[in-house]
Amino acid sequence: MGSEIENVEARNIKINRYVLIDNEACKVIAIDHSKPGKHGEAKYRIEGIGIFDDRRRSFIVPASHKVEAPMVDKNTAQVLNATKDTIQLMDMKTFEVFEVPKPKDMEIQSNTEISYISAVGKRKIVQKQ
């Protein structure tokens, strides 16, 4: 499961990469930086959207400080059971069985293959195969 986190300098963060903001894995959508002041260093304002809850978040950090970047894994799974609120999946590589919330905009039946992402102990279905 994608629970590894690496530390990256704020100046090395790029758009469309992943960072942890408020302990939530977020995809970076905007980066603004200010010039260094007389007694300080440049600051970076990093804005992202949560990959599991779609909430917009941002934070400000000095350029040389470390930022936590989660490892986001994309895997395939087979749907074992689909209920009104949850989907029971079996990972195609590890054969681990787990449940994820059912996406609102996707119709999913049993015995189909899907792609899902995992990071920081959470999982989410991203598409049907």
Domain ranges of the chain: 5-70, 73-128
Those residues with Cβ within 8 angstroms of residue 119's Cβ, 6 or more apart along the chain or in another chain: 2, 3, 18, 25, 51, 52, 70, 71, 72, 73
Between CA 33 and CA 47 the distance in angstroms is 11
Full-model pTM: 0.81
CA dihedral of residues 119, 123, 125, 126 (deg, nearest 10): -10
Q: Which pLDDT score, from 0 to 100, does residue 67 have?
A: 95
Q: pLDDT: is 111 or 26 the higher one?
A: 26
Architecture of domain 5-70: Roll (2.30)
Query: What is residue 93's predicted lDDT score, i.e. its pLDDT?
Result: 94
- CATH architecture, domain 73-128: Beta Barrel (2.40)
pLDDT at 45: 95
| 60-82 confidence digits (pLDDT tens) | 999 889 999 999 999 999 999 98
